[in-house]
Homo-oligomer: A and B are copies of this chain.
Amino acid sequence: MNSFFEQNASLLLENPELANVFENIMSFEKFPKHAILHEAGKICNNMYIITSGIARVFYYKEDKDITCHFAAEQETITSIDSFIQQKKSKYNIETLEDVEVLKISHSDLQNVFESNPKYERFGRLFLQQIYMDLVERIDDLQLHSAQERYETLFAKKPYLFQRVASKHIASFLSITPETLSRIRGNTK
């Protein structure tokens, strides 16, 4: 599975020129805990920048619920396969806390790109950034043990371990909840 706009949204929000453009196409929304922001099988038209709370991307692999991305404050989340290619998604997006987001639609974003090609640059830079995150995640999965993957995630996103159910962290790390529980036991 995969990560999804693993990156924080600073590239999009902290550029003064872009911020103006984006202000016009972003809308503010609130969702309660356990809300579904996107459902598998549909085309995902939106990308969200989370300003408060946590959400996850997940899907079902033979009945098992697999989390492939978490996003917290200042991070972006979308069903990336679907958003990029505008085709049906295999992923769901669900809030894990009450969540506040800035929403950007695919069509508005395309309009920005088409209005002036200079904005393509930010699209490219943003993709470069999230691409490097994926490279890191593959590195992690390709050659680290369950214990090491746990430690890496804990170092990067310690808050997940206090705010998110263990079973989701386990599937994200590609281990069983039992193994995660034992690893956490060891490390104390």
Distance A121 CA – B122 CA, assembled complex (angstroms): 10
Copies per complex of this chain: 2
The total of chain A residues at the interface (CB under 8 A) is 34
Q: Are A2 and B135 in contact (CB under 8 A)?
A: yes
Are A137 and B138 CB-contacts (below 8 A) given A117-B118, A124-B123? yes
Residue-wise, chain A 169-188 has the 8 Å CB interface mask toward B (1 for contact) of 00000100000000000000
CB distance from A86 to the nearest CB of B (A): 11
Q: Are B61 and A143 in contact (CB under 8 A)?
A: yes
Contacting residues, chain B, for A174 (C-beta < 8 A): 141-143
Residue-wise, chain A 138-149 has the 8 Å CB interface mask toward B (1 for contact) of 110111000000
